[in-house]
């Protein structure tokens, strides 16, 4: 089964007429994603790669029955796009856009939750249920259908970990990049709960990084509520003290959010932590008993 998206997911691309929106629409179509339409205000009636363009999300949803939207608009338009999707009846919003101001995103987070819409991102690569659908920018060819769920704060590390899983014949049920910003729509705990309930998922890989306390909270949740094998990797373990890292959320404050604290929390929850991404498949096979 996987979680959140499958072969029946009907996708809109907000910003489809832009460079990134157009490029990744072609990639999603090639993968087999059901891209039903695009949205660019003022450009309704056009087509991009054979996909109809609408002036508004509401019109696109009415005409296509879309239930998922992926956002490829510049940061200054992201809030409007997010709220239009939430108001337009979209069930799942995936925001690829980076650079959304933190205070704006905090207000958007609460606005979207009130609409009972789920948000992945912002500043994320999206998600993929291999062999069924991909929504975002993940490279489909490195994924393989299987039983490992992947949750990650890092896009590029997701690709490296997935490549190694596939290489070792550990396919994936769903891979999700949650985003690297301080305020994101869906975090580890929500997704761990979904993977725990998914009969197709046999184990879960968590890819974390320095900054914030999400990984520590996930470790506590795993200890109390997750029965499936979990393996973790924490990036930034060799970051020099005081060095600013790439993600806006990778900020260590008040001594909290260090790599050491995250590794310790996972280990205390019985979750093995890989030193390198290529160690993850063997650790998972050990946990699965295969």
Q: Catalytic positions, please?
A: 247
What is d(CA 241, CA 223) in angstroms, rounded to the nearest whole number?
A: 30
Name every residue whose Cβ is closer than 8 Å to that of residue 256 and which is 6 or more positions away in sequence.
Answer: 213
Task: Examine residue 122 and say whether the peptide bond preceding it is cis (omega within 30 degrees of 0).
Answer: yes
- Given a contact cutoff of 8 angstroms between Cβ atoms, the answer to whether 117 and 92 are in contact is yes
Phi and psi of 143, rounded to 5°?
A: -95, 155
Directed axis angle between helix 102-114 and helix 75-87, to 10°? 10
What is d(CA 207, CA 266) in angstroms, rounded to the nearest whole number?
A: 12
């Amino acid at each position: 089964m996987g979680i959140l998206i499958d072969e029946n997911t009907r996708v809109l691309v907000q910003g489809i007429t832009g460079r990134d929106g157009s490029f990744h629409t072609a990639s999603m179509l090639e993968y087999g994603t059901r891209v039903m339409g695009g949205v660019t205000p003022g450009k309704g009636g056009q087509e991009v790669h054979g996909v109809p363009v609408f002036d508004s999300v509401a019109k696109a949803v009415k005409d296509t029955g879309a239930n998922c939207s992926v956002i490829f608009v510049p940061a200054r338009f992201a809030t409007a796009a997010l709220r239009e999707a939430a108001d337009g009846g979209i069930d799942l919003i995936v925001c690829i856009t980076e650079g959304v101001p933190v205070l704006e995103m905090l207000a958007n987070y609460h606005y979207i939750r009130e609409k009972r819409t789920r948000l992945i991102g912002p500043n994320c690569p999206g998600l993929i249920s291999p062999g069924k659908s991909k929504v975002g920018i993940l490279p489909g060819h490195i994924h393989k259908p299987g039983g490992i769920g992947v949750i990650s704060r890092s896009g590029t590390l997701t690709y490296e970990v997935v490549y190694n899983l596939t290489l070792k014949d550990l396919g994936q049920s769903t891979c999700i990049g949650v985003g690297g910003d301080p305020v994101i729509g869906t975090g580890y705990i929500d997704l761990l709960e979904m993977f725990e309930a998914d009969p197709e998922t046999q184990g879960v890989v968590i890819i974390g990084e320095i900054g914030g306390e999400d990984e520590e909270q996930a470790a506590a949740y795993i200890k109390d509520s997750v029965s499936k094998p979990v393996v973790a990797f924490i990036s930034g373990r060799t970051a020099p003290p005081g060095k600013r890292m790439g993600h806006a959320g990778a900020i260590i404050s008040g001594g909290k959010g260090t790599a050491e604290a995250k590794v310790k929390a996972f280990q205390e929850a019985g979750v093995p932590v890989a030193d390198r991404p290529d160690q993850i498949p063997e650790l998972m096979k050990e946990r699965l008993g295969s």
